[in-house]
Amino acid sequence: MDELKNRKTTRLKGADYNRNQAVFLTICTKERRCVLSRIVGTGVLDGPQIELTKYGQIADKYIRQLNDFYDDLSVESYVIMPNHIHIMLWVKGAGNGPSGTV
């Protein structure tokens, strides 16, 4: 329980979480292990390609479902890298989140 008392907030100080806004998230794997995808190909003429692992496929499945589960959230784009995921979200700030925020 002591670790919860010392936990830092992930919210940006002074940010208004009740307005419409784009949010860019990066989610990293534990110990930055490369378990989500592999970079394949040389990328000389067409750029490298990403091949998802079984864990990356699971992440992809649930990211694609976010739009269906949340009315106030829209996944604009995302990329699943070997050890992290970048997601661009559009959040509609209706002020109806669990603590009055979205």
Residues 23-51: tens digit of each pLDDT: 899 999 999 999 999 988 776 777 788 89
**Higher per-residue pLDDT: 94 or 61:** 61
Report the pLDDT averaged over residues 65-94: 91
For strand 73-80 and strand 84-91, is the pairing parallel, antiparallel, or unpaired? antiparallel
Q: How many domains does the chain have?
A: 1
Would you say the C-alpha torsion 79, 84, 86, 87 has a positive or negative sign? positive
Determine the pLDDT at residue 2: 62
Report helix, strand or coil for 50: strand
Note whether residue 98 is domain-resident: no
Domain annotation covers residue 48:
yes
Residue 60 forms part of a structural domain: yes
Parallel/antiparallel/unpaired status of strands 73-80 and 37-40: unpaired
User: 73: domain range?
Assistant: 17-91
Q: What is the pLDDT of residue 28?
A: 95
Beta 21-28 vs 37-40: how paired, if at all? unpaired
Answer whether 0.75 is exceeded by the pTM. no
